[in-house]
Each structure stands twice: as structure tokens, then as C-alpha cells.
A and B are shown apart, each in its own frame.
Chain A
Amino acid sequence: MEAYEKLEKVGEGTYGKVYRARERATGKIVALKKTRLHEDDEGVPPTTLREVSILRMLSCDPHVVRLMDVKQGQNKEGKTVLYLVFEYMDTDLKKFIRTFRQTGENLPANVVKSLMFQLCKGVAFCHGHGILHRDLKPHNLLMDRKTMMLKIADLGLARAFTILTLWYRAPEVLLGCTHYSTAVDIWSVACIFAELVTKQALFPGDSELQQLLHIFRLLGTPNEEVWPGVSKLMNWHEYPQWKAQNLSKAVPNLDEDGLDLLYYEPSKRISAKKAMEHPYFDDLNKASL
């Protein structure tokens, strides 16, 4: 690991620390994600393996974070650690939204549109390669402040892994559906869209039940009519009956084209690829993204 000079710790995730570092040979700034190997004699964690193998496959897309190298090293105790070497991105969408919340300004409509398009493009690319992200949220979307480039990160989530934040979780997952599809990620995309506009999470639940109630309150409590099969899902119970509200109330400042992107029923939810062709993006200079 002499090839890199650690500059500062920039984050600490579930798997280990992330450093900003300089590649000695080129002076290039990179992000080093240090992965602890399990202390319980199980070698490289499966989540890391999955992330690495998925990134090896998807890293060629401009909207997926670029994995430049993988290096084995030793920590102070002489144990093997794994370093994932990523291109350095200076912020993420969570921090980006926060800066606007602090100043009270709104994100410019064209910025929202550009970020949304890049997100859809990256998600379409993942889905095109048979990869579900399963944990899309502003924190996992890296950004470059100057160029406004958006890149999807943290692709390593295994099924068994308990996702910490519920806010972007699709209703079919909350209701115990075991067969996930691409629609799961599209739900998260829709939640992120709303958050870009309002600077607040659309469904900020703090338990699975509350998360569902948040969704039902806005979109109406689903029934067999709007969502065939919903009452047969594992976690289905009788819920308070809410009528669907007008979405533009919850997400103001959003023109009508944009509203079409927020869908409720999984099988009818728009695909990332189709979303890219949505009229909402018509006035965007797509070639530059």
C-alpha cells in the first residue's frame, strides 16, 4: 500500500473506513475504502466480494463509481486488509441537499433534472446487467460539485444484509414480498426525486409499520383493486384507510411532467430505461451527460 499516501479520513461505513489519498506515482487523488476482514475466521466478507465483482462488471459506466484497483495490505496488527481504490468524488447527494436546506434555497429545476437523468441512466445500466442496487439513497449517490456528475456507489448489499434506512424502501419489500425486481430501485429513485425537490425525505418512517403508514397516507391505502395480490403479501394486515392525496401537494415546485415518474404499483412502475425517455427530460441536453 506504499503506492498511496493517506491524506484524511472522509467517512466510516458499515464495512470500514474511507480515506482520501494520493497516488504517489501520479499525484492523483483517490478514495481508499479499507475493508476489515472478518475477525471470526471467515476471510473476505461476502458483501465486499459482491461489491468488488459487481463493480468489476459495471465500473465502465460513467454513472457508476469507478473502481480503479483492489490492493491487499496489512493493518497495524499484521492482519490482511483489503483496499478498494475508487476515483475521488467530493460530495454526495445527501450532503448536497443539506447545503440547500441550510440556506433555504431550492435546488434549481435544471439541476434536479440533470441529477435525475444521470440517476436513471446509472440505474438503467445496472438493471441492464442484471444487478439490483437495493439500497439507493442520497448518501449512496456520489457527486462532483463542479461538474454536477452523479455516480451510483455502494453496490455490495447482500440480501441478508439489514438495510439501515427505511425511507427509500419499496412498499412490496415492506410488505414482505420475497421476489424483488427492478421496481424496488425505481421506488427509491422516485423518493430521491421528491427529496431533491422538497429537500425533505418523502417518507421518513422510523419503523417498518410507520414507513408503510407514511406511504399509505400519501398514496392511499392500497387494496386489491389498485394493487392485485397485495392482501396476500406476507406482512399484510388491516390498515387504516386513507384516500390518495394529490401528489403535487406533497411535492410542490414540481412541474406536471415530473409527477409522472412517481409510481405506486410495482408491475406498473416505469423502468429506468423508459424513464430516461420521459418528456420531463425533453429539454435536457442529454448528450452532455
Chain B
Amino acid sequence: MGGNRNGAFQYQDFESPVLFASTLKLEGSKPFRISLISDPDMAANFWTSSHHKQLLDQEEVDVVHPLDKERGITLDDFKLIKMHMANYIWKLAQFVKVRQRVVATAVAYMRRVYTRKSMTEYDPRLVAPTCLYLASKAEESTVQARLLVFYLKKLYADEKHRYEIKDILEMEMKILEALNYYLVVFHPYRALSQLLQDAGLNDISMTQLTWGLVNDTYKMDLILVHAPHLIALACLYIASVLREKDTTAWFEELRIDMNVVKNISMEILDFYENHRMITDDRIIAALSKLKP
């Protein structure tokens, strides 16, 4: 379990010095006990961010666009294709060498696009690499379009879906409109390292396990539905159960709704359970419904 199958983690440099990731300030209640953010004046505020305002209900995320429905895409297909494309972005990212944070932002963009647009009109095989391209710019580690296209051709031998630079650039504009130019995404990584440290669980083994778990949450739509620090907490919760670390007292002190954390944890565990049943054939079948 965990993200190991995806290769090395790059957690040293995930954080942009300009845009800080998720904050730990909770609305209403007392600020999180752990205010470890080094510069309190810089505590990026997730709660007033556009990301926070854009959180959706699961029911809103699980809507298959009418155009896709016409082609026989089911909700399962829909989820499967998004997962496949998240993996694809990850793979592509390893070739072009970008930080984990860029991958996470790209996947979040891709998932946001499909809450508004159909896969029929916005082919995921073009949307996915374009999201990586866009995310690399937004996160200040630009990847050249021609480099991306080079690896794209290498990864997708498929003749029907050969994309050139101009295709990427055209899709970039369409994605920007689809996202309504909201490009800031908060991720669980920063919260995670702060939480691990606070819980005294920041050894290499726990760090790697939780980091892998967070990486895997991008195979699901969690980032569209839940606040990043809650996703981080769910991953920490799962890891502490797996490694038999007693964190009950620590969680109690956090003043958070433990039910929410446990529900997210259950979703993650369910995902792993179902993940075993996914075969390449199912993914190919789902994708082939889109474009013959």
C-alpha cells in the first residue's frame, strides 16, 4: 500500500516559497494548537482562498456529463478514466522532472475541468498533459511544451492520439476558461509535514507511508471535496492504525470533527480495496467509448 509503486517521492522541495500550501487555521474554533508555520504573517489562508470557495459535494463531482452519457460512459467509467489520467500525469511528470506539488496541482485541474466539461469535447488524453503543462507554469517550474510533446509521443505510441505543440496550446486556453482562471490549489503536503512533526511521528517510515497515501488520494476526487488538512489527517490516521501507533490522545487535542476524518479514511481504504479489481482492459474499454 502507499504510493511506492509510483516510484520515488520528491518531498524535499514540494513547497513554493511564494504560495504556501494548506493552512491549519480552523474557522470558528480556536486556532489549531499547532501553529508551526514559521512566519505567522505568511500563514496562507485556505479558508478565504478561492480553493475553499470551490469545494464541492461528492454528488456534484459524481455527475457524468450528458454528452458522455450518450456515449455510454457510466459513473464507474468516469472515475476510472480520471484515475487513469491521474496516473498518466504522474508518469509524464517523471519524464519531464517536476515537483510532486506540480503533479498534484495538475491532477486537481484535470478533476476540476471534468466537473464542468465533457470528456467527449475535452479529450482526457489531451487534457491530462495540458494540465501538467499549465500546472508547471502556475507553480513556477515551467516545462517546455516541446519537451512535453516529445515524451507524450514516447508514452503514447497510439497513432490516433498524437498531439502537437499547437494542440497543447489550444487546449491550454480552453482549460483556462473552464477553470475560470482560478489556478491556486492548496494541497495536503504542507499540513501533513506539520502534523507529523507535531504528533512526533516524523520518522522516515511514517513520513514515507503518509506521503504515499497522500499521493494516492489524487487517484480519487478527494481534493475537490475536502479541505487539504483533513485529507492529511485522514492519511495520518490510516498510517497510525497500520503501524500501530497510538494517536488517540493527539487526535482528541486537535478539536476537529473526528467523524469527518474517519469518513475520509474509509473512502481511501475503500478505494484501495476496489483498486485491486481494476484491470487495464476495463480502462481501455472505458476510454474507447470516448473516441472510436
B18 touches A49 (CB 8 A): no
| Complex contact B43–A128 (CB within 8 A) | yes
Contact indicator per residue, chain B 179-202, by CB within 8 Å of chain A (1) or not (0) = 001111000000000000000000
Give residues 10-45 of B contacting A (CB, 8 Å). Answer: 17-20, 23, 39, 41-45
**Residues in chain B near residue A46, CB distance under 8 A:** 137-138, 140, 142
Interface hits, B125-174 → A, CB 8 Å: 133-134, 137-138, 140, 142, 144-146, 165-166, 168-169, 172-173
A50 to B19, CA, bound (A): 10
User: Are B137 and A131 interface neighbours, CB within 8 A?
Assistant: no
From A41, A49, A130, contact of B42 by CB (8 A): A130
Cα separation A28 to B203 with both chains bound (whole Å):
59
Is B60 in contact with chain A by the CB < 8 A criterion?
no
Report the minimum CB–CB distance from A268 to chain B (whole Å).
13
Q: Closest A residue to B40 by CB, please name it.
A: A271
CB contact under 8 A between A43 and B168, given known A54-B184, A130-B44: yes
A260 CA / B284 CA spacing, docked (Å): 67
Decide if B17 touches A53 in the complex (CB within 8 Å): no
Question: How near does chain A come to B183, taking the closest CB pair, in angstroms?
Answer: 3
Among A54, A56, A180, which residue has the most Cβ atoms of chain B within 10 A?
A: A56
Evaluate whether A130 and B45 lie within 8 angstroms (CB atoms) in the complex, with A43-B169, A56-B183, A72-B177 already known.
Answer: yes
Q: Do A44 and B146 touch across chains, with their CB atoms under 8 A apart?
A: no
B183, closest chain A residue (CB): A53
Q: Which residues of A contact B173 (CB under 8 A)?
A: 43-44, 72, 80
Q: Which residue of the partner chain, among B165, B177, B184, contacts A53 with CB atoms under 8 Å?
A: B184
On whether the beta carbons of B140 and A182 are closer than 8 Å, the reply is no
Inter-chain CA distance A72–B41, complex, in Å, is 36
Minimal Cβ-Cβ distance residue in B for A157: B18
Number of contacting residues on A, CB 8 A?
Answer: 32
- Of B18, B145, B176, the residue contacting A132 (CB under 8 A) is B18
Among B19, B41, B181, point to the contact of A127 (Cβ < 8 A).
B41
Closest approach, in angstroms, between the C-beta of B51 and any C-beta of chain A? 8
Q: When chains A and B are docked, how far (Å) is the Cα of A271 from the Cα of B168? A: 42
Q: Is A284 part of the binding interface, using a Cβ–Cβ cutoff of 8 Å? A: no
- Chain B CB within 8 A of A52 CB: yes
Contact of B49 among A57, A180, A271 (CB under 8 A): A57
Kindly name the residue among B18, B23, B168 whose own CB sees the greatest number of chain A CB atoms within 10 A.
B18
Shortest CB-to-CB span from B243 to chain A, Å, is 32
- Asked whether, in the complex, the Cβ of B145 is within 8 Å of the Cβ of A42, the reply is yes
**Is A159 positioned at the interface, with any CB of B under 8 Å from its CB?**
yes
Q: A50-B138, A53-B182, A130-B19 are in contact. Are A43 and B50 (CB under 8 A)?
A: no
Contact B168 A50 (CB under 8 A): no
In the complex, which residues of chain A have a beta carbon less than 8 angstroms from the beta carbon of B41? 124, 127-128, 182, 271-273
How far, in Å, is B138 (CB) from chain A's closest CB?
5
> Which A residues from 108 to 148 make CB contacts under 8 A with B?
124, 127-132
A179 at the interface (CB under 8 A from B): yes
Shortest distance between the CB of B46 and any CB in chain A (Å):
9
Give A271 to B43 CA distance when docked, in angstroms: 13
Q: Map CB proximity to B onto A227-239 as digits: 1 under 8 Å, 0 otherwise.
A: 0000000000000
Please name all residues of chain B whose beta carbon is closer than 8 Å to the beta carbon of A158 when the two chains form the complex: 140
